[in-house]
Amino acid sequence: MNKSELIESVAKKTGLSRREATVGIDSAFVIVAKELKKGGKVTLTGFGTFDVGKRKARAGVNPRTGAKIKIAASKMPRFRPARALKKDVRK
């Protein structure tokens, strides 16, 4: 399922117009992204938690040249599914 299919599904399920569903979903994505950018986390009970993971600096290899490179420390968005979601998927 892609974003437009998600919007269509939400519109049908809620009775909203496609435009209203688009605004709602886009707003939710923006809010989650802003919270993660601040270093916070977003917990959706029964679904999961979005947070920020930290990667340490490490050594790597350039696949083209084989030269060793340093990879800087970085942050990345992370999702941890809730127990209920894991259970639903396993069925």
Q: What is the CA radius of gyration of the chain?
A: 19
Query: Is 71 a residue whose pLDDT tops 90?
Result: yes
- For the chain, give the longest Cα–Cα distance: 57
Q: Give the CA count within 13 Å in the CB-facing half-sphere of 46.
A: 1
pTM, rounded to two decimals:
0.79
Residues 32-42 pLDDT 10s: 999 999 999 99
pLDDT band at 82, cuts 50/70/90? Answer: very high
Closest to 25 in 3D by CA, of 42, 4, 40, 39:
4
Q: Give the pLDDT confidence score for residue 91 in this predicted structure.
A: 80
Q: Residue 21, Cβ neighbours under 10 Å: how many?
A: 20
